[in-house]
Structure 1
């Protein structure tokens, strides 16, 4: 304690905090964080469109697949010297946190960039960045390396027009993999084209020699139609319900009831996707419920003894909500959730009367929707009755009605500090039981590949012994009877072999959790462990662990040329010594866990339907469309 003095206090300056703690700014250094860099620059270009200064956006994925350029025909980043900091505004914006022109409404009425950190964060996490600005009839250029300017800004020749182009290459010292996914970029830009109907977007994919022009003047009404079609959902009625208010805060919503059992709403604020929702999305959900309840009461619709819940009303709804707010209050730099309290009532005030009018003016379609809601209520009641067979009575009976093969925690009684590893097979389960910390880690081994629960009712899923064991061990119930407060473990971790069979079993389990216990994913309780596939030993005291073939090659490439590595490939978790499994996969201090997240329930729903549904033609089409991405197929 006496050695802790002022000398131990570190102050991170400039962009150093970003490189030290990138997850604080982009959410992580995985593929999602990598692409978030691109979204930050794209959002800046869209802000120029939102404020009437641009109408075109071009995104180019270069041939190496590891670098991108984003260009717009907006005003161009200012290049004159800042009177206080004595450097160009271009350099200031790209090298200083919380520097920008969006802290007031003098230059931007609506904006997604509120914190003045997006572009500088991208610069900090890029091995190379080049900013090119056309302004005042001249072209200006400045280069950066890992956030540091290379020489000064240069002034080029005369040019026409105005605008900004940002080229950047993410830093492999920060990101384990720096390969962008063309399809992810294209889908994101296509989303933006629906939200901003007047913006012309061009995506140039040099890796495939393709050029895509994305323009959707039909806006979010066409967007809903697209989502319904891609999700393979059957519309209950062909009409997409549309609500819009343009004055003040622009609020626009479009939605459609389908025969799906899932509710899927995508929300946007100032053109930025709010994947975790927020007050605006809550307002839309409550508006739909209030409008339907009002219709039921006004028309005295007989419910025949069923009790209708908000989930019954919104079941099968596919919707898009877009709001434009002068002062949005986002939760964090990644802007995944909106916190403005007034947006709940504002959105409700637009959506509810519009839906009420539509229901009253379309009685035949309204009756079809009400009938579908009543059917959903009856199905939930049947699901509740079936789930009662396995519902636990609470935390106080930790060892009552638990699966016999579950090796439970020995002393920890607090769910938030307990972990359950769902393991593939008895052999792997034995290694996990020996290598775990029995105090707070439980192990549940499964026998072989489980039931494909895509399209299966809750009751049928519970008849499968392995799935019933999982539900019993978790203690939450299933379906409408699910209760997160009775969850016995803070983390549920899927631990499978690092091979094709292991990936298959993980996929089947993810299907089960997404379809039958999705709240575990929404509450960030579900994880996938990453056991090593290879052990790479160099000399007597240097050992590396590789998760897959690509990771193995990266490690080998980083070794000295005279190194003679000894490579061991694990056949499975059951072949791995308990001590090795503990050090690489079980111990919180040394393991790697992947958190399971749902970026889009619509896209996730479509993926599960395609890959695990009953229609084989969808899988065939997927394989043919994506075969070029695979080096080899294990068929």
Structure 2
């Protein structure tokens, strides 16, 4: 028996207690410790307040970002978390809710008909990952206070002096900087989420107080998702092809609300929610919506014999240009993970499908002129998609195709099959030349691109498919494009974007990311897209050589070696300046390089940012620049 085996005994088995598992593995509970995970703490507390409102016990929620930019308070006028002692633990219920996993009031089904929080972990997780947390409860004419730090109580439950009117709960917390790399909250992210909550819960007043920027906004939408659809349409600058939206509201055992409009846009945009929680990855409620929509439209087309000869209408044609809000409230939602971004309840699909199909079909028959305009839009989409497929077929290459179909400027790798192979999409012929010489040709392929890449956010599909650089990329990848994309046919295991480390290089990377996000999103979802991080500076200090990716990194290196030999600093004008061996050691070698994996934490926010920064509407970019002008310390011109 080996020494390692002998030393592995019972004493090596660690049983985490209390909230220690949350602090040890926060990603299991909030998805990660980046900005999305940080803001998830707010959503957990807000969802508890919303649950009170959903069940008729609260009408107002106030969220405050305090002056330090790192502390949040969430207050509601609900019933207030119980403060009496639990019969088994003899501890105040408030302490149990905030210090014990899976302790909450949503398991017995008596106090909450529907709820976003179901597992009894949200409040305790926030407590576990906070440097400090204070809970104030107002109920029975009195006010109570209890404090916590990193998941443990730091005071007993205190009854504050004086009588008080009303009831409710206020949770104030500051995230733990030893858990999160950054604990400064983004005010726009908070504002958008809170405004969305007011759309999804008609009659609920949501107030956001931003003490950092000294602003206060209140949201109250009596028309709910209909108002929300109008806002989304305005944001997306989408031209509708009909005026009044189709809206369905069903409120019995399961509450369903959805509203739909077709536009002239070439993509579909669906925002779905379960019990007020955004489901960025969809789920059975979205599947039911799509199925019911498809059946209703097809039934209308067949009933009125509207399909032209030779036109084959697909699901994608029916949903092209569609903008929809789908919101459902159910008693026992089954989410995929604690971050709740996908619904798994199988029965929901049939329920949504069954409710939507007859209602939409009846609406179309009662509004013939509107319905016929929608069908004309769908037929046009089908014809355009057929043309697009023909264009895509001319540049696509399946895995077994002959090498002659590949672009001439592609320097392919020698390894057959795609296991562990990499395609570097490189900015410019000169950089491509260095990369070709410096790579490991056994498994690394190089595709150089010339000039600025086409901005696909503001280009027509025809222009995109006719663009030579995009044709070369699609042909090299071999997986198709748009609706024809097949990840299984991808010729490489990884696609790596490699551009200069300066502002021009960042611009080119952004243009490429826009293309992949809009036209090959499955590659991002499958974890195939990466960004290389080449150095911007070479710093020679004595006999040592250091590589800095940007100005900040350069200053860190200089500060660390202050007082030693006078440094010699070289700023690379581009990757083409690097010797092949240097490019290999710093950027291509898997043992020494840095790669950033492209992931989507928040699909709605990503869509908005790309639309604002890359779309045709210049006013959104102007507003972005003006709002952040003071934050720019240095501009690379």
CA distance in 2, matches of 1:532, 1:130: 45
Q: Report the CA distance shift for 1:67/1:564 in structure 2 as closer, same or farther (over 3 A).
A: farther
Q: Give 3-state SS (helix, strand or coil) of 1:396's partner.
A: coil
CA distance in 2, matches of 1:307, 1:76: 57
Residue of structure 2 in register with 1:168 after alignment: 173
Partner of residue 499 from structure 2, selected from 496, 501, 523? 496
Q: Report the CA distance shift for 1:422/1:186 in structure 2 as closer, same or farther (over 3 A).
A: same
| Higher mean C-alpha displacement, 563-572 vs 58-67 | 563-572
Residue of structure 1 in register with 2:487 after alignment: 484
Deviation at 1:231, TM superposition (A): 0.5
CA distance in 1, matches of 2:566, 2:62: 45
Question: Which consecutive residues of structure 2, in runs of 5 or more, have no partner in the other structure?
Answer: none
Residue pair 1:383, 1:479 contacting (<8 A) in 2 also = no
Deviation at 1:146, TM superposition (A): 2.3
Partner of residue 623 from structure 1, selected from 616, 622, 625? 625
Q: Report the CA distance shift for 1:105/1:631 in structure 2 as closer, same or farther (over 3 A).
A: farther
Alpha-carbon displacement from aligned partner over 1:349-374 (angstroms, at most 9, x marks no partner): 11111110111011111111111111
Residue pair 1:221, 1:242 contacting (<8 A) in 2 also = yes
Query: Is residue 456 of structure 1 aligned with residue 459 of structure 2?
Result: yes
Q: Give 3-state SS (helix, strand or coil) of 2:424's partner.
A: strand
Residue pair 1:57, 1:201 contacting (<8 A) in 2 also = yes
Q: Report the CA distance shift for 1:462/1:118 in structure 2 as closer, same or farther (over 3 A).
A: same
Aligned length: 630
Deviation at 1:348, TM superposition (A): 0.9
Deviation at 1:131, TM superposition (A): 1.9
Q: Give 3-state SS (helix, strand or coil) of 2:395's partner.
A: coil
Residue pair 1:34, 1:178 contacting (<8 A) in 2 also = yes
Q: Report the CA distance shift for 1:570/1:151 in structure 2 as closer, same or farther (over 3 A).
A: farther
Partner of residue 92 from structure 1, selected from 96, 108, 112? 96
Q: Give 3-state SS (helix, strand or coil) of 2:145's partner.
A: strand
Deviation at 1:190, TM superposition (A): 0.7
Residue of structure 1 in register with 2:384 after alignment: 379
Alpha-carbon displacement from aligned partner over 1:539-597 (angstroms, at most 9, x marks no partner): 99998x8765667789999x899999979685355567856875678638974524232
CA distance in 1, matches of 2:534, 2:363: 54
Q: RMSD of the alignment, in Å?
A: 3.2
CA distance in 2, matches of 1:591, 1:17: 30
Deviation at 1:154, TM superposition (A): 2.9
Query: Is residue 470 of structure 1 aligned with residue 473 of structure 2?
Result: yes
Deviation at 1:184, TM superposition (A): 1.0
Query: Is residue 127 of structure 1 aligned with residue 131 of structure 2?
Result: yes
Query: Is residue 195 of structure 1 aligned with residue 197 of structure 2?
Result: no
Residue pair 1:387, 1:459 contacting (<8 A) in 2 also = no
Alignment map for 1:227-626 (pairs within 5 Å):
227-392=232-397, 394-397=398-401, 399-411=403-415, 413-415=417-419, 417-426=420-429, 428-429=431-432, 440-531=443-534, 571=572, 572-573=574-575, 587=590, 591-597=594-600, 599-600=602-603, 604-626=606-628
Deviation at 1:100, TM superposition (A): 1.6
Residue pair 1:265, 1:319 contacting (<8 A) in 2 also = yes
CA distance in 1, matches of 2:187, 2:232: 20
Residue pair 1:452, 1:511 contacting (<8 A) in 2 also = yes
Alpha-carbon displacement from aligned partner over 1:379-438 (angstroms, at most 9, x marks no partner): 00111111121111x3234855333443444436245x4433323335554665677665
CA distance in 1, matches of 2:433, 2:168: 62
Deviation at 1:334, TM superposition (A): 0.3
Residue of structure 1 in register with 2:64 after alignment: 60
Alpha-carbon displacement from aligned partner over 1:604-626 (angstroms, at most 9, x marks no partner): 55544443334434433443355
Alpha-carbon displacement from aligned partner over 1:293-314 (angstroms, at most 9, x marks no partner): 0001111114132111010011
| Higher mean C-alpha displacement, 93-102 vs 317-326 | 93-102
